[in-house]
Structure 1
Amino acid sequence: MEDHDGQERTTSEIAPQACGSCRKQKRRCDKQLPTCSLCLRIGRNCGYSAETQTNQPSPEEFAALKDQVASLEQLLRTTTQSSGSLQSGTNGTPNGSSSNSSNSLNGNSPASLLLSPGRPPPWTGPASFPSLFFLDSNAFEYERLQIQAPHVKVPPGALTALGSSAELREMIEHYFATVHVYYPIISKIRLYQHLANPLHEPGADIALLFLAMKLICSDIPEGQPPQTQLYLDVKSFYSYVEAQNGFSIQLIQSLCLISLYELGHCVYPAAYLSIGASARLGHAMGLHAKGVPQMLARPSTWTEQEERRRVWWGVIVLDRFINIGHRGKSFGSNDPGLDCHLPTDDAAWDRGQMLVAAPLSLSASQTTRVSPFARTCQSAHLLGKAIAHIDDKQLPLSYRFGEALQISRTLRALADVLPDDTASPELMDTNDLETSAPYTSMAIAYSGLLTLYDAYSCTEQASTLHLAGEAGPGAEHGRGTGLSMGEEQLQMQQASIHGLEEISSRVLFLARRVRRNVDSKGVAAVSPLVVDAIYQAAANYAWYVRETSDPTCGERLLELKELLVLLDRRWKVAGEYLRIVEAAEFYLQSAIR
């Protein structure tokens, strides 16, 4: 090559590293001696310091380096083997070798889901997440940044736990024939399209969803706690995917199914905390509103958009239901606005058929036909109104009784519509939907009415509740009712006393329909969300027996208790409710004696 004076330079003399000036300026250097081309062209001093030149290591230094590498490898191998030995008393061995046990989730400890004995983990650190999304969402949207979904590797043993392809498909079909009937938050057509696509590599989020579906469909052996090995493994798997920033719609769907399992089997406080976490996760993803930063990519199809709407409604249903007996706590999810749309027709959505979804404000109309899950969402929404009203200790007396009457009328109007929905011709053509799906919405509506009436039926209890509020201006008259506050209080108390008896009889009628459905199709498709209404009605009849000694009330109480015993085979929370009723009976009988 030639320099700037036209003199030819030799290329045989090359420095072992860049010159000091190029390294300082972080510029590319051709390492020519005695001066690099860049320094020669711009007239800059060029020097190759002897201090920075790397010399070849001596044989002694090279041998010492090999010893250090060997020591580090031995330390890593020992640490990995120790972690493997902690997985299970039957899986780990002193030398870290794996035993002949299966990698199935049901046979190993939760740690076996994340680490296979004797091998380093096949995944790296968590995928990067743009912190700007939480630190300054306005800047995040201004820069039009998008969150790339990471590919989280499936931990060892997770796919093995799902069994063969035939077993996996059988589990999925069982899920859609049972749980999906009353809690349809997973798109059936999208899931089957995912399974049929040979080009789509399954990720950890899909494997987690399958395991959560398997968990919610599993039966607990008699006498065994609900914290089974599968439950512990799925919880551990979820924590791993979340720690890897594997945020997807499948992640929150899995958490909803885990929460439903915990709620149905009375796993507390895990159920309360998991439902709160699902609400927080939904808010972070932006499922609760459109005009907020979205963590997920824009949906590509109407079916996917509807699926996200159903997932968020599924969170609201669980969030309202978990607060029925746990009073005085705020909800984890926002209250949906009246312009929020309910889920569309369940059967049409499963087929991928696009239909119009009714707004929440119009869904109470008796001329508007909505799907069973939409009625469940509406019932849960009104249940939340009743719970929030009871828990609001700052509500002035001038508003309290009028608002209670309004909530009662709205809930009763919905309860009156629901039996007509169950007999509609549309539902008659959908087999399982006709017999089991509407029961969930009816039970939740009855739970809301019984909860509201219980707070206002007793004079002393109602007085204690009302003293928490402060009378403001115009306290003598109710808001918009034309009645005085005393008249509203009397009207609400009378409505509560009569309402407890009427709604309890409605629950008994619903319980008989559930019993016939169980006798004909089994207990697998019964929703755990129907159990609370049965419990509250049974508790009311136990009180009636004590107060009136009416044999009819005693027969109805026995009928409801028998159903709780039957449902305990599927959901352990029914057995817990039964024990509460029997304890109350024992207390009442002791008080009589």
Structure 2
Amino acid sequence: MYGRAEPRQQPGYACEECRKKKLRCDRQRPQCGACANAQIPCEVNDRRVPRGPKKGSIGALRSRIVALERRLSTSQADDNDTANGHELGLATESPSKEGISIQFPLVPDWDMSQQEQPLNGSIPLAWGPPATAPHSPLLFSELPVIPTIAASYPSPKQSPVSVGDVFISDLSKADLIQLYFDRVHPIAPIFNKSKTFGWINDASIISEPQQCLQYAMLTSATAFSSQFSGLQDAIYAKTRFMLDQLDLNGSDSPICHIEHLQAWILITFYEFAKTNYRRGWLSAGRVFRLVQFLKLYDLDSPRVLGTEGDDNAITLEEKRRTFWVAYCLDRFISVSEGSPMTLNEEVVFTRLPCPDDDFQRGLVQQEPFLAETMTSADMRPYAPLAECVILITICSRALTHKQIYTIETLYSNIPLDFTSRHDWLDGILTRRLNNLQVNYPSLTVAENPMIIYSYMIAYSAIMYLCRIIETLSISDQSQSLVWEYQDRGLWAAQEISRMAKEHEYLGYFRAHTFMPLPIYLSVVRLRTHLEVRKGDLEKDEMENVENSLHSSIEALQKLQSVNNLSSYYLQLL
């Protein structure tokens, strides 16, 4: 037989005297042999804590080791990227166009479901929350703790597990929401502040789409500040996970919440600015489909009696603004890429947004439709978002005009109605630009990034019309017309360069997310003008054009530290 036939020790506990002298106790009762020989009392403690580590401590230590290893590896990767000149996803030298997607930082990895978690809750951190924190109605205590691990984006079926949690205090959350309304809301004015704070502060009524929207607001706010840059990837990954979960959970439901669409809009703007162009473009497609699903393009069409919606004036105006922000996003991408628009202008039956000050006070006045405004000659002010909608529509029509001209020339030598269509676009653009200058003088727009961007869009439309004229065959009859439009295109490009330079005083953190687009178009126009008219320019005029060109390129270089779209367009130059 192998092994012991009898146990090495008798059952029971050793007495305290034997433990003290480190003797082997024979565990006899009522008195062991050692105590009997020494003629001393034999005391036994049968409530002694068992040996070994406490229950759950091994799992806690293992989880903490994994978290520290991940943090160390992430830190080393960041150091390597910095050494190679790719910090913040920006290269010191412009790589090839094929490597555009490589330059952007990866997003956090939430795939930690296989790791062992501590049984007694999360591991306490040295930088955790204070024991007591001041309470304020603007502080949001219902937001969960946000992890800060970073690697790759998870699939929708994976659940983010908090491994290395960083606590975001109520004050920081309030700071992010305030930052959102200071810097993000001016370029995407889709919320009524009173209504938004109402559901944010009431944890008992907040729904899952609203909680997702709250994270999207925090995510977009981090893109407009340097102090929260360390939390960008973690909050973004959490928001994307929640959005994907909403898509999966609601796949069989005919109901889609407006908060779901609003969260996707904010995340799309964030992705264009902070991840890469391809990811933002794909997310924009999701936005457009949700707009069509919710039929936001048909909010104000005549209804059959008894079928009016249940939305109040504030909710209906929020839906209008959500639609128009998505509409502008569609045009921004189309103008940038020369691609077809997804949201068709001809079927839009939603009124333009009312002035933001009235909207915030709950005074929603009825504005005209886009089609009415395009044909109206009234010199009246519109909301900054409405001005941007009108001008980006003209710019997109100029793009469509160029595409129609290209197609028509394939079927006939003389394009049909080209001149009348071109003159109509030129006239309406001139009228709208004059209206913008009357109601929002260019010298006083420095505090409104949407108006600044509207000016740039108007100048971009002028450059598009110039490009269309240049495609015409140059003859004795058309030479003067081509030169006239080239001079106007040059003036528009120089105006964009000037406004981009002046935007430095406002700060690029407050710049519109798509401001690099018109700056890029101005650089292309200035370069083209130098190439085409190089022999006809005087020395002083040549120097002015070159100075504007350098100023535009410099503005893109400065913007790339806060907006990856600038890096994208710099690589196209």
Partner of 1:267: 276
Partner of 2:449: 436
Shift of 1:439: 0.8
Partner of 1:383: 395
Verify: 1:252 aligned to 2:261, yes or no.
yes
Q: 2:462 aligns with which of 449, 464, 483?
A: 449
Partner of 1:508: 497
Q: 3-state SS of the aligned residue for 2:186?
A: helix
Shift of 1:498: 2.4
Cα deviation per residue 1:183-229 (whole Å; 9 max; x = unaligned)?
201222210122344642x222112112222222224989x999934
Q: 2:199 aligns with which of 194, 197, 204?
A: 194
* CA contact 2:384–2:450 (8 Å) conserved in 1: yes
CA distance in 1, matches of 2:348, 2:159: 51
CA distance in 2, matches of 1:312, 1:539: 31
Partner of 1:286: 295
CA distance in 2, matches of 1:260, 1:198: 27
Shift of 1:375: 0.2
Cα deviation per residue 1:159-193 (whole Å; 9 max; x = unaligned)?
x8893433222211111111111220122221012
Partner of 1:533: 518
Cα deviation per residue 1:326-384 (whole Å; 9 max; x = unaligned)?
12x32111215686421000111122122231332236534222111110111122122
Verify: 1:365 aligned to 2:377, yes or no.
yes
Partner of 1:517: 506
Counterpart residue type for residue 356 of structure 1: Q
CA distance in 2, matches of 1:275, 1:292: 29
Partner of 2:98: none
**What is the correspondence of 1:21-100 to structure 2 with a 5 Å cutoff?**
91=112, 100=123
* CA contact 1:162–1:168 (8 Å) conserved in 2: no
Verify: 1:564 aligned to 2:569, yes or no.
no
Verify: 1:400 aligned to 2:418, yes or no.
yes
Q: 2:185 aligns with which of 166, 170, 180?
A: 180
**What is the correspondence of 1:4-23 to structure 2 with a 5 Å cutoff?**
none
* CA contact 2:332–2:392 (8 Å) conserved in 1: yes
Partner of 2:174: 169
Shift of 1:532: 1.5
Partner of 1:43: none
5+ residue gaps, structure 1, are 1-80, 118-155, 464-485, 582-593
Shift of 1:112: 10
Counterpart residue type for residue 509 of structure 1: R
Counterpart residue type for residue 195 of structure 2: R
Shift of 1:255: 1.0
Verify: 1:346 aligned to 2:388, yes or no.
no
Higher relative contact order (CA 8 A, sep 6+): 2
CA distance in 1, matches of 2:352, 2:481: 30
Partner of 2:322: 311
Q: 1:324 aligns with which of 317, 321, 335?
A: 335
Q: 3-state SS of the aligned residue for 2:265?
A: helix
Counterpart residue type for residue 500 of structure 2: A
Counterpart residue type for residue 394 of structure 2: L
Identity of aligned residues (%): 17
Q: Give the root-mean-square deviation of aligned CA atoms.
A: 4.1
Change beyond 3 A, Cα 1:240–1:421: same
Q: 3-state SS of the aligned residue for 2:322?
A: helix
Shift of 1:509: 3.1
Shift of 1:419: 2.4
Counterpart residue type for residue 362 of structure 2: G
Q: 3-state SS of the aligned residue for 2:298?
A: coil
Partner of 1:416: 434
CA distance in 1, matches of 2:167, 2:362: 27
Cα deviation per residue 1:527-583 (whole Å; 9 max; x = unaligned)?
0222211122122223444525712222222222222222222211123323433xx
Change beyond 3 A, Cα 1:416–1:505: farther
Cα deviation per residue 1:80-104 (whole Å; 9 max; x = unaligned)?
x9xx999969955665667749952
CA distance in 1, matches of 2:167, 2:256: 22
CA distance in 2, matches of 1:227, 1:199: 28
Partner of 2:343: 333
- More displaced stretch, 432-441 vs 226-235: 226-235
Verify: 1:580 aligned to 2:565, yes or no.
no
* CA contact 2:486–2:529 (8 Å) conserved in 1: no
* CA contact 2:110–2:154 (8 Å) conserved in 1: no
Partner of 1:211: 215
Shift of 1:254: 0.9
CA distance in 2, matches of 1:113, 1:438: 38
CA distance in 2, matches of 1:516, 1:433: 8
Counterpart residue type for residue 490 of structure 2: E
CA distance in 1, matches of 2:171, 2:197: 14
Counterpart residue type for residue 418 of structure 2: R
CA distance in 1, matches of 2:326, 2:276: 18
Verify: 1:276 aligned to 2:318, yes or no.
no
CA distance in 2, matches of 1:417, 1:265: 34
Counterpart residue type for residue 294 of structure 2: M
Partner of 1:47: none
Change beyond 3 A, Cα 1:459–1:389: closer
Change beyond 3 A, Cα 1:335–1:346: same
Verify: 1:236 aligned to 2:241, yes or no.
yes
* CA contact 1:114–1:237 (8 Å) conserved in 2: no
Q: 3-state SS of the aligned residue for 1:528?
A: coil
Partner of 1:106: 148
Change beyond 3 A, Cα 1:422–1:459: same
Change beyond 3 A, Cα 1:206–1:198: closer
Tell me the TM-score normalised to structure 2 length: 0.64
